[in-house]
């Protein structure tokens, strides 16, 4: 396949196919997989929305003892790459890739059928900033095919009572996230800001929400990406070196 490379996910020993002309995964996906995997119970049924090339599904599969992981991606080319990655790692019985629109979940799944929902969504509203031509990278970054409310509405449909929802997003949209979670009967239970350096403002926020729980928000200490320019912090190094079925 043209422009496709194979990278090794050292955390779990799996290979992943990536197209350099499309949207390759970044540290946000790695941090979200780590944040969510710590609370994925054995034999859980997990779904990853906006899954791209399947990075989070692969990491969660390797780190946890989830029974089944479904990865849903609207872009056909990315879904095909994810399927190839699943195949070369011989994970067909564990990971199912679906090429479809998350706004159609009610047609594809039974209500309340997942223990855990994970999503690394487009961060930017489509009306914000100058729009470029609609390509794979634009779709991954901007709310072209789905908006934040579409995602949280889908989560409400998919998630079992007391289930967990994990997402990474931009801090400036946190108030909107809280409003929508409340609208769809989900309660934010934990957040963690992600800062590039210890003295810089957060650029990302990790969010956990649960269904049918009382309000009791936990705010973690910030996750610092770099100890100095070009050098990951000890915590990020440990996340990247996490081994299969070990506690990260």
Q: What is the mean pLDDT of the chain?
A: 90
Mean pLDDT computed over 2-20: 87
Average the pLDDT over each of 17-21, 73-77, 110-114, 162-166 and give the range with the smallest value.
17-21
DSSP letters of 67-116? SEEEEEES-HHHHHHHHHHHHHTT-TTTEEEEES-GGGHHHHS-TT-EEE
Structure confidence at residue 142 as a pLDDT band (50, 70, 90): low
DSSP letters of 52-67? TTTHHHHHHHHHS--S
Residue 2, pLDDT score: 65
Torsion angle, alpha carbons of 147, 148, 152, 154, to 10: 20
| More confidently predicted of 146 and 58 | 58
115 pLDDT more than 60: yes
> What percentage of the chain reaches a pLDDT higher than 90?
78
Residue 134, pLDDT score: 60
Q: Residue 179 and residue 142: Cα distance in Å, rounded?
A: 20
Q: What is the pTM of this model?
A: 0.91
pLDDT in tens, 145-167: 779 999 999 999 999 999 999 99
Record: fold of 4-240: Rossmann fold (3.40.50)
């Amino acid at each position: 396949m043209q422009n496709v490379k194979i990278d090794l996910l050292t955390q779990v020993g799996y290979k992943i196919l990536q197209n350099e002309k499309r949207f390759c995964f970044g540290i946000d996906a790695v941090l979200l997989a780590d944040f969510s995997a710590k609370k994925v119970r054995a034999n859980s049924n997990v779904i990853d929305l906006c899954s791209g090339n399947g990075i989070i599904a692969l990491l969660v599969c390797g780190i946890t003892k989830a029974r089944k992981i479904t990865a849903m991606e609207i872009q056909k080319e990315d879904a095909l790459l994810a399927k190839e990655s699943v195949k070369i790692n011989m994970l067909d019985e564990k990971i199912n890739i679906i090429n479809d629109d998350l706004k159609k979940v009610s047609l594809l799944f039974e209500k309340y059928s997942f223990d855990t929902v994970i999503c690394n969504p487009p961060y930017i509203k489509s009306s914000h900033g100058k729009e470029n031509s609609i390509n794979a990278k634009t779709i991954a970054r901007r709310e072209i095919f789905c908006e934040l409310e579409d995602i949280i509405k889908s989560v409400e449909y998919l998630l079992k009572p007391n289930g967990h929802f994990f997402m990474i997003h931009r801090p400036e949209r946190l108030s909107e996230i809280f409003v929508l979670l409340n609208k769809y009967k989900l309660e934010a239970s934990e957040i963690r800001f992600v800062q590039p350096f210890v003295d810089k403002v957060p650029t990302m926020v990790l969010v956990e929400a649960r269904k049918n729980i009382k309000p009791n928000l936990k705010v973690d200490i910030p996750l610092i990406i770099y100890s100095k320019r070009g050098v990951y912090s000890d915590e990020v190094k440990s996340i990247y070196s996490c081994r299969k079925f070990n506690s990260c």
